[in-house]
A and B are shown apart, each in its own frame.
Chain A
């Protein structure tokens, strides 16, 4: 995706072939999204590089898209016989909206096969509570300023840090990092996962006022009072 369109959106054939296309949104635009996408489809069809049909991967860049905008987009594409299968975005809000519609979402540059050796140490900060049905997934570590409610999921290739109550499902090291940890001010998840290990959350009332931390100790997930150190090294 070296192509950087000046104003309009672009339809670019996916390099992996199989007839799918990348829909690349411009960095900024005055034109509303539906019109941009219509234009891209129409001009793409005019260029005549074969019939555009099948699957579309959306490169939303830094666009902050909400559920209704994505739904609208899905409808426009659907009318042309196109199916929106993947969204690539650097905005957590877009990822949450995509999860709401059941569309696979990914962070930029995670299209290359992920190396399980060293996850991206970059920290994503997300502000706001994850409610039931939401799923936040990041390529590096994630810091959530808010709660994870029952029925919501948070997962990261690195650490999962929750400045709030964790009552949903958390998955740290989801690409295989055994050293990843899960920290929360109140750790009462339905289920905890670190790399390949799975544990049910603890029952009973949490100790008041102590943050807790879950890591893998001798192959099993163990919960201890959180250490007063920042788990992410520079």
Chain B
């Protein structure tokens, strides 16, 4: 049986004051578990962008972190408005952000492309009116 570490977290939507806490915690855990610094940084950046998306758009989300000797897998499953056109949402510069979100330095339409860029494997699924699920995988070797 292989070594496997797994942990779940909750992100609350519209809670801007806590935005970034889950990704900070995941970053700390991965460092503690001895994951290489450049890999920790990629996972942290992808998770932080996803966390900002949840805070900005969704009601809440469950985040699951899974670490095996081969890879790190982060699943962000939110209850929220969903994304009608995923292909459009993946385009750099496309955004539905409000001015409040932009004032935080986000909402420029770079979040999802940034997440993909930092992932070795990236899956996105969404149902309008129900929520969006992201699966981010980063290989360790």
Chain B binds chain A: no
